Amino acid sequence: MKKEKDAGLIKEERQTMPLTKNNFIGMAVAGLLIVVGFLLMLGGSSTPEEFNPDIFSARRIVVGPFLAFVGFVAMAIAIVIRPKTEK
């Protein structure tokens, strides 16, 4: 950290934020994917009186979990990715 002394005041170098606007946009998109994945998994359940075959639909056991998983992976990537540095 570079410090300059000017008339008794110490000024510190401006720190850059660890996450940039692009990181936050990526996290928002990933969060949306996670929510959509969980919403696709929602639905009615079977009761002892009536069997609901919709609990075995591809939307609930393949598409929803896949989108949620992709969302979690995208969230990790959005957090870890470094911002581009200007040279």
Output the tens digit of pLDDT for each of the chain's 87 residues. 555 555 677 777 777 778 889 999 999 999 999 999 999 999 888 888 888 888 889 999 999 999 999 999 999 999 999 877 666
13, 23 contact by CB (below 8 A): no
What's the pLDDT at 2?
53
What's the pLDDT at 6?
55
Which tokens belong to 50? Answer: 């009536």
What's the pLDDT at 3?
54
What's the pLDDT at 4?
53
86, 62 contact by CB (below 8 A): no
